[in-house]
């Protein structure tokens, strides 16, 4: 068996062995594949009865919109959801992984998951990869200890906040929050403010766009409002419809069998043991 | 010493010859954002009074909005010394114009055009004036508000902001500005923007001036500060339930 050319370090984590070779290739002229980023606006806020998370739905690959209606609010546990900004694959993979870990933990302990459990699992993973897992997350949920809202940075830093924004549209959304957030908002006021903040990101940031997703989590209950607002509808639809008429004419139909079916009934010797 | 903004040279001309050492490479003392809007009677412009020397707040009494002639208001963010140079150029310009003694005076459109030419030509010589300028004014009943950046990008709009104001104040203005704002509503809107900037821009200070220009002339307010709110209950002990978080 040939020895593998890349050694995976015994403790896990990234192996940086191929970096020199990659650099040499880029110098020779090879273009590295670009990532699917989520150039995003994600927000969260704590209101009277729990947590409201919001996100836009545009996924970009450089200057192109790769997905017009992607889902950025990821399920972690029945009472915990997580919005993700940064590289789409990283946010998806890391939230999926921690969601599975949480479920196993629930089976083990027999209790509902707590938000700080998700927080600690995520931050341990992100820190160990030293920022190379490009996931910036807004984690929110309601557990036995109350409502919680956290932000996580790709390098592993976490914050605990009453209102938070992340992604390229975070400044536009934060300006709305800083101007209008109050404590003790009702459910409707909270949803309205989150939708306003996401819309601010959608219309003022080029990396965010399309629709608004909202998730409301309260004690014992959650509401995932997918496409709560669609402020960018397709406005022009041709009145004549879009029928593409067939212009092909069938001239001849002929079916030619390719090979005759041959049955092989050979009696051979049994295999050698 | 000072941690400053990205220098203009990308390593293309690393060795700087004696004659070339006069070029602007990076700013030293900088002012932060300016926010300006058109309102019913003219233009309102707000700025704080801070001058940062890298990451230190060195000067806290810099007026970054000045009246130009009878009809215009100039606000600048970026290098303060370059702003002072521009004021000198404009002084010369208005003085020479006065000497014609023909009853005509330079309006905001003319000053904006002059500034655009100056900024663009400097940029072409790789020796920019490191400022983003906001020019507002009223002449013959028509209000005017425009902006010129250090590379010569120039345009006119109903509301403008420089620096961080673009990211934090512009979204609010796009949502809440409408034509024919009253003076009180205009000031309230500007204060809303300046408050967000105060919370979220590290080089902003809580000492601002609002300047107003109408057909009658220019008024610059006395410096004052905004009320801020820090009493959220979750600010009192934020990581009570989450040890190891911030």
- The answer on pLDDT for A203 being more than 80 is yes
Residue B24 has pLDDT above 80, yes or no: no
| Residue A40 a catalytic site member | yes
Nearest in space to B149 (alpha carbons), one of B131, B126, B123, B169: B131
Helix residue ranges per DSSP H, chain A? 19-28, 88-109, 115-128, 170-180, 187-204
Token readout for B124 is 């072409």
Summary mean pLDDT of chain A: 88
Chain A window 182-211: which residues touch B at a Cβ cutoff of 8 Å?
183, 200, 203-204
Which runs of E-coded beta strand occur in chain A?
Answer: 42-46, 50-55, 59-61, 64-67, 73-77, 80-86, 135-143, 146-152, 158-160, 163-166, 212-218, 221-229
Closest-CA residue of chain B to A174: B168
Architecture of domain A40-229: 4-Layer Sandwich (3.60)
Find the mean pLDDT for residues A84-111.
95
pLDDT, position B234: 84
Question: Does residue B240 or residue B165 have the better pLDDT?
Answer: B165
Q: Is B208 on the interface with A (CB under 8 A)?
A: no
Burial readout B15-54 (b: 16 or more C-beta within 10 A, e: otherwise) = eeeeeeeeebeebbbbbbbbbbbbbebbbbbbbbbbbbeb
**Average pLDDT of span B13-42:** 79
Residues A31-64 have pLDDT tens digits of 766 665 558 999 999 999 999 999 999 998 888 8
Please, which pLDDT band fits residue A9 given cuts at 50, 70 and 90? low
From residue A208, give the alpha-carbon distance in Å to each of A56, A67, A73, A214, B48. 6, 11, 14, 15, 31
CB contact under 8 A, B232 and A183: yes
By the 10 Å C-beta count (0-12 exposed, 13-18 middle, 19+ buried), A171 is classed as buried
How distant is the Cα of B8 from the closest Cα of chain A, in angstroms?
A: 24
Q: How far apart are CA B45 and CA B184, in angstroms?
A: 13
pLDDT digits (tens, 9 = 90+) for B207-238: 999 999 999 999 999 999 999 999 988 888 88
pLDDT at A1: 46
Total Cβ atoms within 10 A of residue B56: 12
Do the Cβ atoms of B195 and A123 come closer than 8 Å?
A: no
Alpha helices for B58-164 (secondary structure H): 80-99, 108-124
Contacts of A158 in chain B (CB under 8 A): 242, 244-246
Q: Is pLDDT above 90 for A216?
A: yes
CA distances from A51 to A144, A151, A225, B84 (A): 14, 13, 14, 50
Which pLDDT does position B245 carry in this prediction?
81
Instruction: Determine the average pLDDT of the residues in A234-250.
Output: 78
Residues in chain A closer than 8 A to B172 (CB atoms): 175-176, 179
The whole-angstrom separation of Cα A162 and Cα A103 is: 27
Q: Residue B66: pLDDT band by 50, 70, 90 thresholds?
A: very high
Walk me through the domains of chain B, giving residue ranges and CATH numbers. Answer: 29-227 (3.60.20.10)
- Reported ipTM: 0.81
Q: Per the structure block, which two tokens stand in for A100?
A: 């599975």
Res A171 pLDDT > 90: yes
Mean pLDDT of chain B: 90
Angstrom distance (rounded) from CA B2 to CA B52: 10
Instruction: Report the distance separating Cα B246 and Cα B239, nearest Å.
Output: 6
Residue B171's nearest CA partner among A54, A235, A82, A208 is A208
3-state helix, strand, coil in chain B (%, to 5): 30, 30, 40
Q: For chain B, how many residues are written?
A: 246
Q: What pLDDT score was predicted for residue A156?
A: 93
On the question of pLDDT at A253 being above 90, the answer is no
Q: How many CB atoms lie within 10 A of CB A32?
A: 8
User: Strand, coil or helix: what is A205?
Assistant: coil
**Residue-level pLDDT at B18:** 46
Domain boundaries, chain A: 40-229
């Amino acid at each position: 068996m040939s020895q593998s050319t890349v050694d995976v370090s015994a403790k896990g984590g990234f192996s940086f062995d191929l970096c020199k070779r990659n650099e040499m290739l880029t110098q020779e002229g090879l273009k590295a594949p670009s990532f699917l980023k989520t150039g995003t606006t994600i927000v969260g806020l704590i209101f009277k009865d729990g947590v409201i998370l919001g996100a836009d739905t545009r996924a970009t690959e450089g200057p192109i919109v790769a997905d017009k209606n992607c889902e950025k609010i990821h399920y972690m546990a029945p009472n915990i959801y997580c919005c993700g900004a940064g590289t789409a694959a990283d946010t998806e993979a890391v939230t999926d992984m921690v969601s599975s870990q949480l479920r196993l933990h629930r089976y083990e302990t027999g209790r509902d998951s707590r938000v700080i459990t998700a927080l600690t699992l995520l931050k341990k993973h992100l820190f160990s990869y030293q920022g190379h897992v490009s996931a910036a997350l807004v984690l929110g949920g309601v557990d036995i200890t109350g409502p919680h809202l956290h932000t996580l940075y790709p390098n592993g830093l976490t914050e605990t906040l009453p209102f938070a924004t992340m992604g390229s549209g975070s400044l536009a959304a934060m300006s709305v929050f800083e101007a209008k957030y109050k404590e003790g908002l009702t459910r409707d006021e909270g949803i309205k403010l989150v939708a306003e903040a996401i819309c601010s990101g959608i219309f003022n940031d080029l990396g965010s766009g399309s629709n608004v997703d909202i998730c409301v989590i309260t004690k014992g209950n959650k509401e995932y409002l997918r496409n709560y607002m669609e402020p960018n509808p397709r406005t022009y639809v041709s009145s004549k419809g879009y029928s593409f008429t067939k212009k092909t004419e069938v001239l001849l139909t002929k079916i030619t069998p390719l090979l005759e079916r041959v049955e092989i009934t050979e009696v051979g010797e049994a295999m050698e043991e | 010493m000072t941690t400053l903004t990205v220098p203009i040279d990308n390593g293309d001309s690393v060795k700087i010859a004696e004659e070339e050492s006069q070029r602007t490479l990076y700013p030293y003392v900088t002012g932060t954002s300016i926010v300006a809007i058109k309102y019913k009677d003219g233009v309102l412009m707000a700025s704080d009074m801070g001058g940062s020397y890298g990451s230190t707040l060195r000067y806290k009494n810099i007026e970054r909005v000045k009246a130009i002639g009878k009809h215009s208001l100039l606000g600048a963010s970026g290098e303060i010394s370059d702003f002072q140079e521009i004021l000198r150029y404009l002084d010369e310009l208005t003085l020479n114009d006065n000497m014609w003694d023909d009853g005509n005076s330079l309006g905001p459109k003319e000053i904006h055009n002059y500034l655009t030419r100056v900024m663009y030509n400097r940029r072409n010589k790789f020796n920019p004036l490191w400022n983003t300028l906001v020019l507002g004014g009223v002449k013959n009943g028509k209000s005017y508000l425009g902006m010129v950046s250090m590379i010569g990008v120039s345009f006119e709009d109903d509301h403008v902001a420089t620096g961080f104001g673009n990211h934090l104040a512009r979204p609010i203005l796009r949502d809440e500005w409408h034509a024919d704002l009253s003076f009180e509503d205009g000031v309230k809107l500007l204060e809303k923007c300046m408050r967000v900037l105060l919370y979220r821009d590290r080089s902003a200070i809580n000492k601002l001036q609002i300047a107003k220009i109408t057909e009658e002339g220019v008024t610059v307010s006395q410096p004052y500060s905004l009320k801020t709110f820090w009493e959220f209950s979750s600010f009192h002990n934020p990581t009570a339930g989450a040890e190891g978080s911030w």
